[in-house]
């Protein structure tokens, strides 16, 4: 929840207290994009297929969601997505055969893992937590702080082949062996041939990466109770409605960094004319009150070497936030209640130990982060609203589930 200069209300919003019609008009940018009428009866249905050419993938998207951007070199197809789903869950794709992509990206946790720091196939811990994959197709950048990774295909090379830290553990000495495991499964050659017709070398690392990227693009989540509420198909409790008003109103002003249909501020889609990629220092650390962040975990600074970028990270989507604990890039906030307390305080002060310092006074802290005078009830209301963003249908959708598990 990040603050900026005072506004009378969120963009395109009516002030609180305007009744049901007003509430639907100021719910969020997602509602406006959906073309909903004031009473919630207009706009598209819950899920609507977006027409494509006969031989192409047809996107089935929630109301208000734009068509995702597809690389020209990797167009979507049903066969490619299904191949990618199998590869995503296949432990044989790691160097030692012990870990799949799904080991760190669990469907029931919105494709994160519930750990503060992700752990690779050799037991080495990552410096940061595994990120959720719901709606990853809309992310303008694809890691916590690397501005150069902007396609899922390029990002996929990092967990597969990276060595600092080791994740999947595929390297020059074993990549032929790993690929042979996949090619040796009688079911895979036909799947690759369907996904990449007319190519004699269809079982290749390039096609492994393209297939997994296609599956990840298909992970669309937009049927939470909040979404149903904006369509006039569900009700929120009094506490949840109060939390919604705080979130989009001029007291908490969370919408500045979480106001898109995906509840983040880095969004790209097929119709994007320009793409913004902001990163933020939220006042999480300020080691020794010197403006430092923990070594090897300094955010955008690691890629730019600019002192003003120290401690800047990407704002994550808040969709399914209820199931993606712990929070922040290093998992240092355990609960949503702690997250709300953190933003209400305008950052974090650590009194003792090696991480001691007052993050509230970090020189790079975003000017959108300032203390918010929230009482206990208001904090509880915000948490209640955030939990309405959970899409239970997505978390159990068999289209995204492990194909190797018994039904």
pLDDT digits (tens, 9 = 90+) for 367-400: 999 999 999 999 999 999 999 999 999 999 999 9
CA dihedral 192, 269, 35, 245 (to 10 degrees): 110
Rounded to the nearest integer, the mean pLDDT of the chain is 89
pTM of the model: 0.87
Task: List the structure tokens of 371.
Answer: 């203390």
pLDDT, tens only, 96-133: 999 999 999 999 999 999 999 999 999 999 999 999 99
Residue 92 clears pLDDT 50, i.e. is over it: yes
pLDDT of amino acid 43:
33
Instruction: Tell me the CATH number at 102.
Output: 1.10.760.10
Residues 62 and 102 both lie in one domain: no
Confidence band of 29 (pLDDT split at 50, 70, 90): very low
Q: Is residue 97 part of a domain?
A: yes
Domain that holds residue 201: 78-220+394-400
Residues 85 and 160 both lie in one domain: yes
Residues 129 and 191 both lie in one domain: yes
Q: Is residue 207 part of a domain?
A: yes
Residues 153 and 50 both lie in one domain: no
Residues 27 and 86 both lie in one domain: no
Residue 1 clears pLDDT 60, i.e. is over it: no
pLDDT of amino acid 50:
44
Residues 188 and 89 both lie in one domain: yes
Please state at what angle helix 205-217 crosses helix 78-88, rounded to 10 degrees. 100
pLDDT of amino acid 60:
93
Q: Is residue 276 part of a domain?
A: no
Residues 330 and 209 both lie in one domain: no
Q: Quote the CA–CA distance of 85 and 375 in Å, as a whole number.
A: 45
pLDDT of amino acid 56:
74
The 3-state DSSP composition of the chain as helix, strand, coil percent (nearest 5) reads 35, 5, 60
Residue 227 clears pLDDT 60, i.e. is over it: yes
Residues 32 and 135 both lie in one domain: no
Residue 41 clears pLDDT 80, i.e. is over it: no
Q: Is residue 279 part of a domain?
A: no
Residues 250 and 141 both lie in one domain: no
Average pLDDT over residues 287-308: 97
Give the rounded percent of residues in the chain with a pLDDT score beyond 70: 86
Residues 144 and 35 both lie in one domain: no
Q: Is residue 295 part of a domain?
A: no
Confidence band of 200 (pLDDT split at 50, 70, 90): confident
Could you give the maximum distance between any two Cα atoms of the chain, in Å? 65
344 Cβ contact list (under 8 Å, min separation 6): 1, 371, 372, 373, 374, 379
Residues 28 and 131 both lie in one domain: no
Q: Is residue 10 part of a domain?
A: no
Residue 19 clears pLDDT 70, i.e. is over it: no
Residue 6 clears pLDDT 80, i.e. is over it: no
Residues 203 and 321 both lie in one domain: no
Provide the domain count of the chain: 3
Q: Is residue 289 part of a domain?
A: no
Q: Is residue 280 part of a domain?
A: no
Q: In this structure, are residues 303 and 148 in contact, taking their beta carbons and an 8 Å threshold? A: yes
pLDDT of amino acid 12:
33
Least confident of 19-23, 173-177, 277-281: 19-23
């Amino acid at each position: 929840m990040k603050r900026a200069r005072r506004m009378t209300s969120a963009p395109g919003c009516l002030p609180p207290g305007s009744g049901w019609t007003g509430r639907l008009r100021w719910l969020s940018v997602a509602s406006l994009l959906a073309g909903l009428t004031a009473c919630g009866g207009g706009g598209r249905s819950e899920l609507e297929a977006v027409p494509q050419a006969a031989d192409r993938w047809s996107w089935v998207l929630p109301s208000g969601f734009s068509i995702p951007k597809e690389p020209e070199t990797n167009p979507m197809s049903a066969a490619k997505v299904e191949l990618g789903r199998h590869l995503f869950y296949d432990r044989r794709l790691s160097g030692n055969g012990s870990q799949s992509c799904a080991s760190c990206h669990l469907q029931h946790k919105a494709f994160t893992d519930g750990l503060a720091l992700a752990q690779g196939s050799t037991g080495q811990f990552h410096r940061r937590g595994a990120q959720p994959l719901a709606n990853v197709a809309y992310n303008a950048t694809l890691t916590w702080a690397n501005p150069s990774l902007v396609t899922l295909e390029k990002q996929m090379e990092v967990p597969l082949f990276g060595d600092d830290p080791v994740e999947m553990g595929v390297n020059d000495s074993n990549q032929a062996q790993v690929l042979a495991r996949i090619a040796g499964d009688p079911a895979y050659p036909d799947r690759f041939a369907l996904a990449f017709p007319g190519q004699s070398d269809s079982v290749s690392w390039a096609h492994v990466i393209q297939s997994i990227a296609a599956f990840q693009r298909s992970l669309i989540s937009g049927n939470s109770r909040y979404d149903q509420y904006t369509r006039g198909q569900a009700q929120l409790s009094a506490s949840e409605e109060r939390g919604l008003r705080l979130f989009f109103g001029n007291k908490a002003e969370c919408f500045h960094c979480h106001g898109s249909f995906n509840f983040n501020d880095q969004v790209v889609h097929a119709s994007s004319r320009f793409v913004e990629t902001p990163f933020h220092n939220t006042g999480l650390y300020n080691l020794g009150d010197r403006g430092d962040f923990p070594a090897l975990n300094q955010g955008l600074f690691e890629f730019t070497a600019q002192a003003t970028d120290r401690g800047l990270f990407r704002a994550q989507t808040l969709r399914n936030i209820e199931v993606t604990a712990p929070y922040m890039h290093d998992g240092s906030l355990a609960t949503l209640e702690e997250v709300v307390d953190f933003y209400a305080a305008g950052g974090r002060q650590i009194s003792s130990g090696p991480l001691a310092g007052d993050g509230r006074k970090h020189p790079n802290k975003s000017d959108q982060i300032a203390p918010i005078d929230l009482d206990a009830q208001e904090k509880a209301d915000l948490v209640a609203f955030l939990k309405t963003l959970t899409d239970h249908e997505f978390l159990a959708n068999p289209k995204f589930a492990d194909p190797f598990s018994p039904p």
